[in-house]
Amino acid sequence: MTADTYNCPICAEPINEGDLCLMDVDEGDCHARCLEGAPFVDLDIGDPLPDDAPKPEPYPWRGE
């Protein structure tokens, strides 16, 4: 793995610039599609977000 390649910890595929990502509390940055269906958790405390809490927005990967 080189400095400018980051592999999704869920599917082990590279995350490419512009791919939508979400932060997983355990794994770090993952493809948003790989976290589909997973419960959203509070990244600070690791507890599931309540149903009425705002959900994190996927963000486009910028190669960081």
Residues within the interface to Zn ion (CB under 5 A): 8, 10-11, 31, 34
* Cβ at position 7, least distance to Zn ion in Å: 8
Where do we find the tokens 């009425």?
Answer: 52
Cβ proximity to Zn ion, 11 vs 43, nearer residue: 11
Nearest position to Zn ion, beta carbon? 8
In Å, what is the CA distance from 56 to each residue of 2, 21, 41, 48? Answer: 28, 10, 9, 12
* Cβ at position 31, least distance to Zn ion in Å: 3
* Integer Cα distance of 49 and 28 in angstroms: 17
